[in-house]
Amino acid sequence: MTPNANTWDTQFRELFDRSCEKYRSGSTDFASYYTEDDLSFLGSIGYRKREFFDFVEDYCNEGVPTAESALLVAAARRDYFLVVQDGASSEIRLLPDALPGKEEEFAGLVWLPRILAKARGKLRGELDPDIMFCCGGDRAFLKRHGIHPADFLRATWAAEADDEQLIRWVQAQSTDS
């Protein structure tokens, strides 16, 4: 089955819901969740199976990120994958040891260097399977500053390599007073 560009969001949601059912039934072997069609679909949006599963697992365990948020994050990744990468996956992997530390900061914004590195890796599809963009620490940072994870990805894309532009954007969005 060739994924349909007009219904990819519906396919995403159906796969998300099916994966949640499997997880809630006690199956944590996410590799068994996917059919060949599912894997083809994930590849067409620049996703890997573990990357998809991380959102399912966190949603089932914590109620966040929601399926809608996961879809919006996937939309940002998909757009980058199709527009910037011309549908070609990167072979580079950002490893956990290469991430900035959890206490590192830019302009007094603790966690920003870490989430920025993860956002750039997410956009390019380069995150190691042991790294999740929008993990609990990322969600805490984003909540503290009143930013949706998909908006952060898109702002990261727009800023390209200009850290100062992104810092100004985060500060402008920030609800942390």
Query: For the chain, which residues make up each domain, given as ranges?
Result: 1-89, 90-177
Q: What is the largest CA-CA distance in the chain?
A: 50
- DSSP secondary structure, 32-85, as one string: GS--HHHHHHHHHTT--HHHHHHHHHHHHHHS-S-HHHHHHHHHHHHHHHHHTS
**In 3-state terms, what secondary structure has residue 6?**
coil
Full-model pTM: 0.95
The conformational region for residue 102 under phi > 0 = left, psi -120 to 50 = alpha, else beta, is alpha
- Calpha distance 58→43 (Å, rounded): 22
Note the pLDDT tens digit of each residue in 49-84: 999 999 999 999 999 999 999 999 999 999 999 999
Average pLDDT value for the chain: 95
Answer yes or no: are the C-beta atoms of 151 and 119 closer than 8 Å: no
Q: Which residues contact 83 (CB under 8 A, 6 or more apart)?
A: none
State the residue for tokens 């390209």: 160
Q: Are 35 and 71 within 8 A, CB to CB?
A: no
Which pLDDT value is given to residue 5?
75
Report whether pLDDT(177) > 60. Answer: no
Half-sphere exposure of residue 99: CA atoms within 13 angstroms, side-chain side: 26
